[in-house]
Amino acid sequence: MKDMTETRRIPRAINWNRMQDDKDLEIWNRLTVNFWLPEKVPLSNDIQSWSQLTEEEQRLTIRVFTGLTLLDTIQNAVGAPTLMQDAITPHEEAVLSNIAFMEAVHARSYSSIFSTLCSTPEVDEAFRWSEENAQLQQKSRLILDEYDSAANPLRKKVASVFLESFLFYSGFYLPMHWSSRARLTNTADLIRLIIRDEAVHGYYIGYKFQRGLERLTESERQEIKDFAFALLFDLYEIESRYTELLYDPLGLTEDVKHFLHYNANKALMNLGFEALFPDDVCKVNPAIMAALSPNADENHDFFSGSGSSYVIGKAVATEDEDWDF
Amino acid sequence: MGGLVYFSSRSGNTRRFVEKLGLTAQRIPLDPTAPMPAPTAPFVLICPTYADGEGRGAVHKQIIRFLNIAENRGRMRGVIASGNRNFGATFACAGDVISAKCRVPVLYRFELAGTETDLTRVRQGLDRFWKTQFSTAT
């Protein structure tokens, strides 16, 4: 019998002054500047707002957050570490270690919300629910199966981008909905920090996917693309049922589904693919869009109609030394 | 009709948007040593946003290099900015920075590689925009 323990190769010390891929440095910088912890958000200011939600609304919110916690847990413990094994550059490995840690911060954050707003039995009940909920378990299984099939690094990246850029959004919808009604606005601030991070993660993993895809033959590329769309269909089926289960009682299901379609298309764009859902089923409620990016539409753009399209004295930091005119 | 100049990093979202738009466009190179395009007629700039959480670094260095050339800046009539709404208040803020620095209007904002609706609006918007530009004095 052959000795099963292989001697580990000693890695080369990482040199950040010799980059093989500038994107690694760009994303490292972006992620480290964006670093945050839940303690930064004054969640206790939401205690009164929380008490104004009905019992049903509270239960839904806690359940949604346990579902999000599960996805973050998977990405922290399995997703990002498994992508590290496929890293092409040492810097990519370092960026993925940052992603893994931030996923742990995200998972931690939901517990901060719970300990601030909810009672222990309510939270325990919701965690039990997340372990028994068929759709949550099914989507986790589909993603984990890809992470565990060591054979294909690109399939792992597809699964990872779908988790980061699509699966979270059935959950993210709810705090954006509350925020649009001036409820749980501090909690929404914290969720927006998570949303911002997930956007960078999906973009970066999608970028690395595109670099890997370039090395394949046309028929191999087509095979991966077919796999990606098939996985998205399977995940979408599960997400539809999950959405109905959670949001039917509030009458929000159709609204949430538009948000899912919109985000599914963005996940595909991160992978470099064309959109799947036509624009007429991606009409996200404007209140949700505004909750997602507050202030972003203060300056109307020129083609879209009225309003000043010039920006006057808006405080956006720029590196003035670079603009020498 | 005026021209288009764009920048796209290797993630390729803006490049895909411009390709689908189907209009002639000059690309600002990724490589800082490659020659810059030198448009000879009025143009609109299409640019992605690379901001951190505070809005810093929104405009890519290569775009800044391009705009530091006075002739280029002088021919720019407007900016179309892309980004991702997930970045909240800094969504597509490269357009705002360029608008404030160069005194040109932000014509439109879109996400990632854009949707069919974005493509239609930009095609029609540019068409109308250049007609008004060329009917009044340029």
Give residues 95 to 114 of B whose Cβ lies within 8 Å of A. 95-97, 99-101, 103, 105-109, 111-113
Residue A120 has pLDDT above 90, yes or no: yes
| Average pLDDT of the segment spanning A84-91 | 95
Q: For A25-84, write each residue's pLDDT tens digit.
A: 999 999 999 999 999 999 999 999 999 999 999 999 999 999 999 999 999 999 999 999
Is the CB of residue A175 less than 8 Å from the CB of residue A123?
no
Helix (H, G, I), strand (E, B) or coil at B44: strand
**Predicted pLDDT at A318:** 54
Distance CA B25, CA A91 (A): 34
**Predicted pLDDT at B55:** 85
Q: In chain B, which residue's Cα lies nearest the Cα of A294?
A: B89
Give residues 1 to 20 of B whose Cβ lies within 8 Å of A. 9-13, 16
Q: Write the residue in B67, B73, B108 that is nearest to A304 by C-beta.
A: B108
Distance CA B58, CA B61 (A): 9
Residue A2 has pLDDT above 70, yes or no: no
- List the structure tokens of B82: 């892309």
Q: Write the residue in A26, A206, A294 that is nearest to B89 by C-beta.
A: A294
Q: How far is B110 from chain A (nearest CA, A)?
A: 10
pLDDT band at A271 (very low <50, low <70, confident <90, very high): very high
pTM for this entry: 0.93
Alpha carbon A309 to its chain's center: 31
Distance CA A281, CA A267 (A): 16
Determine whether A147 is an active site residue. no
Backbone angles phi, psi at A208, to 5 degrees: -65, -35
Q: Which of A203-207, A243-247, A296-300, B2-6 comes out lowest in average pLDDT?
A: A296-300
Distance CA A295, CA B91 (A): 9
Q: In chain A, which residue's Cα lies nearest the Cα of B72?
A: A325
Is the CB of residue A33 less than 8 Å from the CB of residue B56?
yes
Alpha helices in A215-296 (DSSP H): 218-247, 253-270, 286-292
Is the CB of residue A126 less than 8 Å from the CB of residue A66?
yes
pLDDT band at A315 (very low <50, low <70, confident <90, very high): very low
Q: Write the residue in B53, B99, B109 that is nearest to A310 by C-beta.
A: B99
Burial of A3 (0-12, 13-18, 19+ CB in 10 A): exposed
Q: For B97-120, write each residue's pLDDT tens digit.
A: 999 999 999 999 999 999 999 999
In this structure, the number of other CB atoms found within 10 A of the CB of residue A9 comes to 6
Q: Which residues of chain B have pLDDT under 70?
A: 136-138
- Give the residue with greater pLDDT, A144 vs A149: A144
**Cβ–Cβ below 8 Å for A301 and B108:** yes
CB-based contacts of A8, cutoff 8 Å, min separation 6: none
- List the structure tokens of A148: 């565990």
Q: Bridge partners of B110?
A: B82
Q: For A180-192, write each residue's pLDDT tens digit.
A: 999 999 999 999 9
Q: In chain A, which residue's Cα lies nearest the Cα of B12?
A: A272
Distance CA B81, CA B92 (A): 5
Q: In what order do the strands lie in the sheet with B3-7?
A: B26-28, B3-7, B43-47, B76-83, B106-111
Q: Bridge partners of B76?
A: B43
**Predicted pLDDT at A224:** 97
| % of chain A surpassing 70 pLDDT | 91
**Predicted pLDDT at A312:** 47
ipTM for the whole complex: 0.92
pLDDT band at A297 (very low <50, low <70, confident <90, very high): low
pLDDT band at A296 (very low <50, low <70, confident <90, very high): low
Is the CB of residue A232 less than 8 Å from the CB of residue A166?
yes
Helix (H, G, I), strand (E, B) or coil at B78: strand
Distance CA B138, CA B132 (A): 10
How many CA atoms are closer than 13 Å to the CA of A173, on its beta-carbon side? 29
Give residues 118 to 137 of B whose Cβ lies within 8 Å of A. 121-122, 124-125, 128-129
Q: Which residues of A touch B123 (CB under 8 A)?
A: none
CB-based contacts of A160, cutoff 8 Å, min separation 6: A75, A79, A80, A83, A143, A147, A205
How many CA atoms are closer than 13 Å to the CA of B85, on its beta-carbon side? 21
Q: How far is B116 from chain A (nearest CA, A)?
A: 7
Residue A320 has pLDDT above 80, yes or no: no
Structural domains present in chain B:
3-132 (3.40.50.360)
| Average pLDDT of the segment spanning A288-304 | 78
Burial of B8 (0-12, 13-18, 19+ CB in 10 A): buried
**Predicted pLDDT at A310:** 52
- List the structure tokens of A266: 């963005």
**Are β-strands B3-7 and B43-47 bridged in parallel, bridged antiparallel, or unpaired?**
parallel
Distance CA A307, CA A298 (A): 9
CB-based contacts of A295, cutoff 8 Å, min separation 6: B88, B89
Is the CB of residue B85 less than 8 Å from the CB of residue A286?
no
